[in-house]
Structure 1
Amino acid sequence: MAIQAATAEEQGIFAAHQIAALAEAGAIRPAEPFAENQIQPASLDLRLGRRAWRMRASFLPGARSVAESIACHALHEIDLGPGAVLETGCVYIAELAETLALPADIAAAANPKSSTGRIDVFTRVITDRARAFDTVEAGYHGPLFAEISPRTFPILARSGSRLSQIRFRRGNARLDDDAHEALHLRQKLVSLENPCFTGGVSISIDLSGFGGDGLIGYRAKRHTGLIDVDKSDACEVADYWEPVFSGGRGELVLDPGEFYILASKEEVLVPPDHAAEMTPFDALVGEFRVHYAGFFDPGFGASEADGAGARAVLEVRSHDVPFILEDGQPVGRLVYERMAQIPHDLYGAGLGSNYQSQGLKLSKHFRLPR
């Protein structure tokens, strides 16, 4: 099946039915048929393959294939078929079950899934001859690999586990500052009266407290048990997280090396004809990283998809020095991009989406209070 030439109006992020068409045309080649809900409204979940390797260090292959780099730097091979424990502080490379044969005008970008980022698993997709992580050049033909580095919790993963997601795009449909402002005027993107539109839509931190007890977030514990990445509602919150309370101060000191789950002060909306991405780090707002998992699908926070009032949950890690966050401080930006076509199903609209209408919410792996 040939892929139809695109009109100017079809520049942008591919919707779910377009991703399915790519697979039917042979541009996406899964080792096995796609699993249920593997195709999301504006992305495709990527599955781990059979083999992984413990590596000496992270790398980019440059002029080489990933397989050649693995042969040079792998410490040992791991069979993911029955499941394997991936330890904190280690770097692994895993083959992915999907390979690509993209047309010359279609590129892709990857990101950790929301559930992956919220358990502090640093995951990046690599291609052969890649000079940048999470970037697939237009026309790429070849395998995909995932670099996996659990930072706080050891994880149990297996063939078929989904840690990363990929978006396909044709052309450049990213909004500039004026277009972000125009879109906000058309359909309010964040619940602020006068948001900043420089480099995207500004997002700030909520340290005022959620609920009557003043809970503002969670700090990850060290030396915990395993997290099985494929099991929902399986872990007790208290075994892995310490609650962080405001104490009425409206500030939080980030300890270097510690991992926090916080939430945005703004409610966020992604219209059905757009997708968004959170910038992972902005050196202009402080020495910390916000939001490993940056993809926001069409319909996130939208009332027509039962998502009114959704906050952006922020995965926050300070760098080398303690850093004080204050309530309402800008911590990142949402950058919007036009969809090539509107998805048939929006995020949260009967898709079993885990984080629609979220406030301050841990990953799906943790049991909700009864």
Structure 2
Amino acid sequence: MTETAHGILPAQAIGAMFTRGEISAPRHPDADQIQPASLDLRLGPLAYRVRASFLPGVGAKVMDKLDKLKLHAFDLTRGAVLETGCVYIVPLMEGLSLSAAVSATTNPKSSTGRLDVFTRVITDEGRAFDTVPAGYRGPLYAEISPRTFPVLVREGSRLSQIRFRTGDPFVQDADLRAIHAEHMLVAGGDTTIGGGVHLTIDLEGKGPGSLIGYRGKRHTGVIDMDAKAAQEPLDFWEPIVHRGDSTLILDPNEFYILVSREAVHVPPLFAAEMVPFDPLVGEFRVHYAGFFDPGFGHSTLGGGSRAVLEVRSHEVPFIVEHGQTVGRLVYEHMLERPEALYGEGIGSNYQGQALKLSKHFRASA
């Protein structure tokens, strides 16, 4: 790695960070914890319920704030239920000792976002969520607040992921157009590039009567965050079908799973992230979990992967229409090609996806 290198660190570089002690943990990484361009973060053995979300700010440590804001602490070694509407802080297993050239950002894992579990990572002296400054040395903490479903977590559960970078690997629009011309970054919509590749919403599906989304139910059972294909979808979700009118009214404080019109492609030498389109265009939020790894939707790996949209309206009902722009996919250069791409025998759950619930649900819906 040179001082002038700009790029997202791939899996092999993340593994080397463990070896050098730049990432530390009380036990070895899980076999599938290191992803092509990110690292899953594991919950530690103790959780705190707190009165309110917070940022420590300059000169302050998270534990100092917890002493003032915690309601109670509880053990996660045997598992515990996190209730909806509550805020929890959990120290993570992984700590960092970054070089001055390496910074990081964090994001909920896809499966976390698709359950409407609001999750952010905090650092000591942090002034922004999900942001780790270059050269940071210290612990990491997860703020967790289930919004729709109560969830069961335990020590080692992985709700968040971290992406490391050197320099500024952001791909500018002019270069993005050239990359799209060569690699077809999105297909199936009206390709618009401006501050990233625009993504639009699909509310037509396969025509009248077809499934176009899901709305989360209230007062459901508990979802085990570590159990795959364990839940019946209809116990937790109301299917939404196309009724001939390609619009959908988002009810305030309800949670929806929808899908993009476009199939997304992330070539092997790039990573991507979904970011807000423009907060002024509508009273709704999309994309709780925004990381897309190299190889997502890659044609040689069973491509055609659409972006699943986690959608929540704000204070008022809001109508969204088929083809409406709901987010931007920004691309960044990889520092080097990952040893394994997304979907390449590494347990990737969403390669080749269309409209799909999280891995916790059986595929019968």
TM normalised by structure 2 equals 0.97
Distance 1:317 1:193, change over 3 A: closer
Counterpart CA distance in 2 for 1:256 and 1:49 is 34
Equivalent residue in structure 1 for 2:132, among 136, 142, 146: 136
The answer to whether residue 307 in structure 2 is matched with residue 294 in structure 1 is no
> Which residue matches 2:248?
252
- Asked if 1 retains the 8 angstrom alpha-carbon contact of 2:91 and 2:141, the reply is yes
Matches within 5 A, 1:98-137: 98-137=94-133
Gaps of 5+ in 2: none
How far off is 1:285 after superposition?
A: 2.9
Matches within 5 A, 1:1-370: 5-6=1-2, 8=4, 10-63=5-58, 64-192=60-188, 194-210=190-206, 213-280=209-276, 282-306=278-302, 308-369=303-364
SS at match of 1:142: strand
How far off is 1:211 after superposition?
A: 7.2
SS at match of 1:49: coil
How far off is 1:282 after superposition?
A: 2.8
- Asked if 2 retains the 8 angstrom alpha-carbon contact of 1:285 and 1:330, the reply is no
Counterpart CA distance in 2 for 1:117 and 1:362 is 10
Counterpart CA distance in 1 for 2:148 and 2:263 is 28
Deviation string, structure 1 residues 321-358 (Cα, Å, up to 9, x no partner): 11111111111000000000100100001111000000
- The one-letter code of the counterpart of 1:238 is L
- The one-letter code of the counterpart of 2:9 is F
TM normalised by structure 1 equals 0.96
How far off is 1:179 after superposition?
A: 1.6
How far off is 1:11 after superposition?
A: 1.4
How far off is 1:31 after superposition?
A: 1.6
- Asked if 2 retains the 8 angstrom alpha-carbon contact of 1:281 and 1:290, the reply is no
Where does structure 1 differ by over 6 angstroms across 4 or more consecutive aligned residues?
Answer: none
How far off is 1:212 after superposition?
A: 7.2
Counterpart CA distance in 2 for 1:129 and 1:7 is 26
Gaps of 5+ in 1: none
Counterpart CA distance in 1 for 2:247 and 2:207 is 17
- Asked if 2 retains the 8 angstrom alpha-carbon contact of 1:282 and 1:289, the reply is no
SS at match of 2:13: helix
SS at match of 1:217: strand
- The one-letter code of the counterpart of 2:7 is G
Deviation string, structure 1 residues 64-96 (Cα, Å, up to 9, x no partner): 100001011000001111101100000000010
Counterpart CA distance in 2 for 1:210 and 1:98 is 44
Counterpart CA distance in 2 for 1:293 and 1:24 is 28
- Asked if 1 retains the 8 angstrom alpha-carbon contact of 2:277 and 2:325, the reply is no
Identity of aligned residues (%): 60
- Asked if 1 retains the 8 angstrom alpha-carbon contact of 2:84 and 2:146, the reply is yes
Q: Please, what is the CA RMSD of the aligned residues?
A: 1.3
- The one-letter code of the counterpart of 2:346 is L
SS at match of 1:72: helix
Counterpart CA distance in 1 for 2:207 and 2:141 is 42
How far off is 1:7 after superposition?
A: 5.5
SS at match of 2:42: strand
How far off is 1:36 after superposition?
A: 1.2
- The one-letter code of the counterpart of 1:334 is L
- Asked if 2 retains the 8 angstrom alpha-carbon contact of 1:174 and 1:338, the reply is yes
Counterpart CA distance in 2 for 1:261 and 1:359 is 11
Counterpart CA distance in 1 for 2:175 and 2:52 is 41
- Asked if 1 retains the 8 angstrom alpha-carbon contact of 2:150 and 2:222, the reply is yes
How far off is 1:210 after superposition?
A: 4.2
- The one-letter code of the counterpart of 1:259 is F
